[in-house]
Amino acid sequence: MRVVSGIQPTGNLHLGNYLGAIRQWVAMQHQAESLFFLADLHALTVAIDPKELASNTIEMAATLLAAGIDPDKAILFNQARVPAHAELCWLLQGTARMGWLNRMTQWKDKAGKNREGASVGLFTYPVLQAADVLAYQATHVPVGDDQRQHLELARDIATKFNLDFGVELFTLPEPFISPAAPRVMSLRDGTAKMSKSDPSDASRINLIDSDDAIAQKLRKARTDAEPLPETMAALAERAEARNLVTIYAALAETGTDAVLAQYAGQGFGAFKPALADLAIAVLSPIRERLTRLLDDRAAVATVLEQGGERARGLAAPTLLAAQRAMGLQV
């Protein structure tokens, strides 16, 4: 089983990122051969600041390392260090079809009414996503609901290439269905996801936040005046309360029912300090490791280069085989 997954280098991560993809990656590296990459080539589909992209890539890599990604167990790298991603993407663009890409929901959402002004990369980046996984003969790809369509496209491209050139080259990747990640919502609005793009820093807990900042944000998190009930069903109409219980359960690696069994009947005056203590206990070691890693950015870059070298070795045979199938190599 070989798993491949990527994440955009967008700078500092927050609690929602950690409890979602990152913690699953940390567990996954012990279950399968794993390649995790910083999708810096994907970042080029929109306007960028080169210095900011370079800095964000190092910071994101340091965050993954601080959160528990072990470069001795998983291969951690950034796309740009492995030319096979871009080269295979170009080869696969001869196989992909305009109609397939036109149906991509994210293309429609991100381009909106300004399709004429959107970059070509924004339109074709699902082909690069296909190359990201097909280059390594990935058997499984972790996907959320928003990426299932892109994985299906990768399978379609792989199937058509194999048929067009009479080869059995590309493995058809399957979705990796891991335990459901918690849907972490804003601390200011329980109906909106926790997001870095939210203008209010109080809406999220950043992995670099101090202990005091974590405690203050949770203390001021929006809730209601009612005590906690005995069941999650009773929180169906209490979005902010449900969110805090979900966060507690995820941090404690337990179920929401167990949390409510402990705190049912208590108000948020008691629950919020307990949640803050738990969040600090889990996140402060990550922040401390991250701070140390960012004190030596060159060392983080070395990890990425070493990971890139390993990834290049894995991708090279597939790229060569694709070139030979197309008559580009003899």
Query: Using one digit for the tens of pLDDT, what is the confidence trace for 63-112?
Result: 999 999 999 999 999 999 999 999 999 999 999 999 999 998 888 877 77
pLDDT value at position 118? Answer: 84
Q: What average pLDDT does this structure show over 178-187?
A: 82
Beta-ladder partners of 214: none
What order do you get walking across the sheet with 74-78 strand by strand? 74-78, 33-38, 2-7, 140-142, 174-176
Higher per-residue confidence, 131 vs 143: 131
pLDDT value at position 269? Answer: 95
pLDDT value at position 113? Answer: 73
Question: For the segment 274-328, what is each residue's pLDDT rounded down to a tens digit?
Answer: 999 999 999 999 999 999 999 999 999 999 999 999 999 999 999 999 999 999 9
Structure tokens given for 244: 């805090």
Decide if pLDDT at 43 tops 70.
Answer: yes
What CA–CA distances, in Å, run from 130 to 96, 99, 124? 10, 16, 10
Decide if pLDDT at 182 tops 90.
Answer: no
The bridge status of strand 174-176 relative to strand 33-38 is: unpaired
Gap between the Cα atoms of 87 and 90, Å rounded: 5
Point out the residues that are catalytic.
110, 193, 196
Decide if pLDDT at 54 tops 90.
Answer: yes
Question: For the segment 241-259, what is each residue's pLDDT rounded down to a tens digit?
Answer: 999 999 999 999 999 999 9
pLDDT value at position 179? Answer: 66
| Environment class of 170 (CB within 10 Å of its CB; exposed 0-12, middle 13-18, buried 19+) | buried
Gap between the Cα atoms of 86 and 107, Å rounded: 20
Question: For the segment 189-232, what is each residue's pLDDT rounded down to a tens digit?
Answer: 999 999 888 999 999 999 999 999 999 999 999 999 999 999 99
The CB density around residue 151, as the number of other CB atoms within 10 Å, is 22
Decide if pLDDT at 146 tops 70.
Answer: no
Question: For the segment 111-123, what is each residue's pLDDT rounded down to a tens digit?
Answer: 777 788 888 988 9
pLDDT value at position 20? Answer: 84
Gap between the Cα atoms of 222 and 201, Å rounded: 14
Nearest to 276 by CA among 320, 244, 298, 314: 244
